[in-house]
Structure 1
Amino acid sequence: MSKVHRLGILTSGGDCAGLNAAIRAVAHRAVYSYGWTVHGIKDGTLGLMNRPIECQELSPDLFKGDLLRMGGTMLGTTNKGDPFAFPMPDGSLKDRSGDFVEGFHMLGLDALIVIGGDGSLKILDKLCKQGGVPMVGIPKTIDNDVHQTEFAIGFSTAVNVVVDALDRLQPTAASHHRVMILEVMGRDAGHIALSGGIAGGADVILIPEIPYSMDGIVKRIEAVSREGRSHVLVVIAEGCKTEDGAPLTVAWSGNQARYGGIGHYLSGRIAERVKAEVRVTVLGHVQRGGQPSMQDRLLASTFGVHAVDLVAKGKFNRMVAWQDRGVIDVPISKVVGSARSVDPTGPVVHTARGLGIYVGEVPEEVDG
């Protein structure tokens, strides 16, 4: 067993539902089972880089029953400012990784639990290895694209939001005989669109991993009409490109380009081909917020307890994961570096096609 007395925890990257449940689980397990003190680092890596250090002790009196139910993260988070190339006021980039490591030691911490997605875990893994910081990772992302785990914190709640939106769009689509397009999050992976679309009864699901054609979309819409139904539900991930493979982005502050507009682009293209009104709903950050689902609360609690146990055993540079209906741990080195995309020939896509949903063009290797 490792000699740990002071444990740090931070959340990094985009927020999602279930983060507070994980923080609660870490604090409960560390304080009540091991007698440690737990220190919550504010705003991800920034909390340890700022001077004075921004943190708070996570004492038991903070956990009075409501935190498990809260969305977002009580500690704050950031998805900006890579410590290895940190933007300075004069516009230059500075390596501030040493400030992060120094902050860890200034607090007298013995180990660190980090909650993040693939990008955050990659940066934090590099930071901690460089500075000799003992670290355990917990996966979270609504995109569910972290390697080595079947589920990450936040995915279940995000999908539930998509299904709820489709449940609300379907009656108005039927009433007005419309094609309703729902644009959901998913920059590089289409797990949200695919799972939410199947559960919500979509007729067309478009994801970044599978190319599509307008002919294929129109063919499905016409088939729905022949079946006697006068409305269509379409779900599309924000990271989808046009049928010609061109990305769609919108200008943002700081000369940044972000994904956006594919739903409205598709609306215009469909309206040119079919005799039906087409409407677009963009869910955006609604998918990140709200009360976490039962599955996210359970997953976060399980991950939190297991992460603390790994620290107690001195098993560092690992990430907790969910595989085969149970929690395991894997080396972080097997996790970071690339995202877990939707398998175009996998069981979930097969299910969608079996339901008659158009999910893009069938890959040649499985076409007949």
Structure 2
Amino acid sequence: MSFSSLGLPQSLQKALQNQKYTDAYPIQKEAIPAILKKKDVLGIAQTGSGKTASYVLPVLTNLQGGRISKNRHIKTLVLVPTRELALQVFEVFQQFSQALSEPVKCLAVHGGVSINPQMKAMQNVNVLIATPGRLLELEDSNAVHLSEIECLVLDEADKMLNMGFADEMNRIFALLPKKRQNLLFSATLSKNVDDVKQVLLKDPLIIKIEAKVDSIDLIDQIAYSIAEEKKGPFLRQLIRQNNLKQVLVFTSSAHRADAVAYKLSKNGIQATSTHSKKSQGARTENLRKFKTGKLRVLVATDLLTRGIDIEFLPYVVNYDLPRSPNDYIHRIGRTGRAESPGEAIAFVTANDEHHFRVIQKKMGKRVKLIDTKDIDIKG
């Protein structure tokens, strides 16, 4: 289905054409018309399925020709779990807002940077994309008012609740007007998300887009049975021998990410780490270099499993397996996106073998496990 049949204004249709967007994704086909009609929506779809545009386009459309809001009284609030996702969502809003006859002022606010510039930038903002903690800081400082919100969006709701934002989100809900449109998007429908749905949504349209087997099949998966102490040398050997570039490596902790990146760099492989303990400036710059191909290896924690759109990323390495099978799927989902093939590599120690079988069962896909005992690991 083309975007022209979804009820969007000509200006946005033209912007979509200019950016080579032709057919709408399944979630966009269902969500856009419903949001345009001011219905509440619960959208469940895998990462990389077009969720962001499915609410950005109709939200911007609904803001056209509306009454002008009082200063610092925002109309649309988008809550996200991470700084990176806040910036990415802001970019999409900004991109399409510029195409409108009445551009909408949008702003992203998050922790990790000074609050003062964000307070000053709140003048005449209509769409605010925020992490929960920073939003409450701004509200406490009287820099933003939530009493006139017409539309609330929760993006990656499952991740927000799993990361312990429930109390902050409840405080925010209490500040909002009761009459508003609510849009909840998530990669999974966990118990926490279902509980929030019951409280937040009124007669919602529920959209559940099942992950296509084809999308998983775009990812060429391979696993190596390996001793813990050999992971580092083997990773370096894989990168060198296969001339791998744009490699996203996932580890279990910030300390581990730093150690892996340090060893790679020390051995002549350009690499750096990114995680929640890094400054926002460092995280943004490292991601920019990686996305543009100026950085060969980015070593990350699960901070980057959701919401970071790196188009045509060729390689993902699970240096450490995640605890949750869903997190494994989200990790490898960084590659094999937009119908582009990718390769996912997993390191499996003896202690990981049972857990890796559970992961494969959850995926519904077997992964070839190669024993590295007979491989000459030079690192």
Shorter-chain TM band: 0.3 to 0.5
TM-score, normalization by structure 2: 0.32
Q: TM-score normalized by structure 1?
A: 0.33
